[in-house]
Structures are given as structure tokens and as C-alpha cells.
Structure 1
């Protein structure tokens, strides 16, 4: 397991967008580990390629833990409108693929009480996206 984490952390800083996508997918299940969370935030807000943003958001939404959804919420709060659209697309893709992601909704309800305002705002946006898409 540690080799998988270490390999994914190394790929997260790759110049190749496909390796960064692979890193985002691999790191999603480690969202509660600080080193992975830091790398995932970089991937969610990837300045080089929006595919990295979208697919990392999708992977985190599919994991659906509070730690995973919290990272998406923080990214939403920090993102410009274009990046936020790609984050939305990733969350939406996960919801459609799984026929809805109840874990995301539950995580958003918990994050609505987070002491950090940006997290609360991002979680509210994610909840609104889920409501709007009917997932």
C-alpha cells in the first residue's frame, strides 16, 4: 500500500497530464493522508490541464468520504469559474456513473458545519450541483 501511495505521489508532479490523471485516481482513496491531500489539491487545481481537474474530482466523488469531498469543496472555493465548471463536471460524472452518490450528499451535510467558511461554501455548491442535476 505504501508503494502505491509513494508511486502516486511521484506521478502527481509529472509533466505528463496522463500521469497526473492516474495519480489523482490512485490518490483519491488516500484523501485523509496529509501528503496525499496536498497532492490532490494541486491536481484539483491543475493549471496545465482541465482533464486532471475533472478526473481527480470524479475519483474523489466516487470515494465519497468526508475527507475526499472536503478536498473538492476547498477546490471549489478557490477555483475560478472555468475551473469550478470542470470540478462540477467531475462530480457530475461520478454521480451519473454510480446512479447518484449518496456518500457525497452525506459528506456535504457534515461539511456544512465545518469551521472553515470556504469548506462550507464549497460543500453548499456541491450540494446545489447534485440537486440541480437530479443525481
Structure 2
């Protein structure tokens, strides 16, 4: 059950990794809302626990919307190597699902034409993951 936006935003800054991970899953459906997008980007680049990064990336990739995948692309472009590995793992969890791969590919194609270079670069990394290559 998706909880309310306010409750999920509050949990995004919790000291508990489990609550932050839950916030990432709950906020994924609000990726187009600026407050949620800001919180989601922070969760994708969580400095304290890679489980938060992975679960948030997976939830956003499962949403498969342009707004959701744009956040992953932004995170990938700003991630260190460890974070990028866990972002890739979260996306991969969706790519191995027969329904997830095509949607991600279509959205990455759209993001390849994004006005922001950082988004295009992140989308290129995600596209490379679909081809079996890492960042």
C-alpha cells in the first residue's frame, strides 16, 4: 500500500535505513512532484546504506516513467563508483523482469534527447547496462 506523500517525505530523512528504503519505495509513485523528486535523488545517492540506493532505484525503474527514470539518470551521473554499482543493481532487478526491460529502454531513448547534458549522460549509462556493460 502506498502511503501518503507527507509521511513518505518525513521518512526519507529518518536515521533508520529501513525507513529510508521504504520512503524510496513509497515516493517512487510521486517522482514528478518536486519535493518527492528532491527526496528521491537524495535516497538514490544515500551515503549511509546501499540498500536504500538499490531499493529506491528498483522502485523508480519499476515505475518506468520519464520522471522516475530521469531521477535515476541524474543520480547515475553524480554517483561514485560504489553508488553506481548499487544503482545498476536496482535497475538490473527490473531489467531481468520480462516486462521491465522494454519500458526502461523506451524511456532511456526519450532521456537521450533531454535538454540537460547530465540527464543524457546518465541515460547513456543506463542504456549501457541494458547492453550488459557497466558505467
Query: Which TM-score bucket, shorter chain as reference?
Result: over 0.9
Counterpart of 2:82? 82
TM-score, with length taken from structure 1: 0.93
Q: Secondary structure at the match of 2:131?
A: helix
**Any stretches of 5+ residues in structure 1 without a counterpart?**
none
C-alpha displacement at 1:79, in angstroms?
0.3
Cα root mean square deviation, aligned: 1.5
2:48 maps to 1:48? yes
Q: Tell me if structure 2 keeps the 8 A contact 1:62–1:101.
A: no
Paired with 2:98 and 2:8, the residues of 1 have a C-alpha distance of 24
1:99, CA displacement in angstroms? 4.8
Runs of 4+ in 1 over 2 A off after TM superposition: 97-101
d(CA) in 2 for partners of 1:36, 1:89: 22
2:54 is the alignment partner of 1:57: no
Paired residues, number = 132
CA deviation string 1:6-56 (max 9, x = no partner): 110000000000000000000001000000000000000000000000000
Give the deviation of 1:130 after TM superposition.
1.0
Aligned-residue offset at 1:115: 1.1
| 2:123 match | 123
